[in-house]
Structure 1
């Protein structure tokens, strides 16, 4: 609303005394046409009024359509909820070339502590490789359980975490908060993730001492499930 300075509103003239009687001009009405009853008047809308009403109606209809589409899309989002990740899936073979019994690629790892190593250098005992990311809630949820098993079985099983799509700067704060002590490697370009045929996060590989894949597991695991898989596929009894 715009106010024009320097103008003074003029009050309307007071209404005449007594009840107002609408004036109806019927002199030009065609013969036989229905006359308006006394005390009533016909509402006449100009073309400008009709155009304004039409425009407002279209705006309201458009707003309702947008709300319906937004609500529908929200209810049918393609985003995968946490529960999908949390449902474990035991896969003997992934969609890629890395299958159970095949050698796991020897990865050149840059660890969070600044050192470099290879996957083969860490294979002095059976290995658990956990592929995770700080943006994956189920990944962060399962990592304390991995740490607990690492503390218990670390002398018999090697643990390595690969931070998929992130650098040390992205993953280190979460690792510190969760108290992770097993080696973590960065994988900002997902070179390692692709080499391991990453299907979904989190993904855990169980690798034999000869470097072959013993088992692949998709989805988060708790401590009991992790111990069970180590004992079943790596033949390392849980304490």
Structure 2
């Protein structure tokens, strides 16, 4: 009799454990389904309401010395489009810089000096490469540069001109042809000399 009752109690406890396990399993299933639905819902909301980031710079073609420069479209710091084509007939000095590049920072005041000396005879364009815009703006104020500044957040323009180091300076003549691409810091005297050499503009 006692053994029979003991077996009955053991069986009841086993049934209780099984029932509890089933409840836990159902609860986990409900949680998993709920979490999955929530993730799908959030993903759907994100992809239907948030626009993908726009490309801030576009380059068609690759630069070759003596050949026409690639067709470039960049955004300036105010979000306005800037193209090389809009400066047709004017030589261009394209200078790639970043706030994380000490050699870029060192040469920027010299570029400002030569830009002022050249006036409207040469178009200077600073291209901020893969940088934080806040830091770039701060550096622009600290160095006092006043020439046009654009952004190349993904490096597409830099790649189009075959950039291999920073800073990089590109000289494009009045006919839109690439005359030289220089990697590394330039002094004021070197910059003046290259402008005379490539553009025949005395600065």
With normalisation by structure 1, the TM-score equals: 0.57
Residue number in structure 2 paired with 1:202:
167
Q: In 2, distance between residues paired with 1:192 and 1:167?
A: 17
Residue of 216, 228, 235 corresponding to 2:181: 216
Residue number in structure 1 paired with 2:202:
237
Is residue 158 of structure 1 aligned with residue 123 of structure 2?
yes
Q: In 1, distance between residues paired with 2:96 and 2:63?
A: 15
Structure 1: gaps spanning 5 or more residues:
1-95
Is residue 186 of structure 1 aligned with residue 151 of structure 2?
yes
Structure 2: gaps spanning 5 or more residues:
1-60
More strand by share: 2
Is residue 128 of structure 1 aligned with residue 93 of structure 2?
yes
Over 6 Å off, 4+ runs: none
Worse-matched range after superposition: 184-193 or 116-125: 116-125
More helix by share: 2
What is the RMSD of the two structures over their aligned residues, measured on CA atoms?
Answer: 1.6
Please say which structure displays the higher CA radius of gyration: 1
Q: Secondary structure at the match of 2:174?
A: coil
Q: In 2, distance between residues paired with 1:123 and 1:168?
A: 28
Q: Secondary structure at the match of 1:154?
A: helix
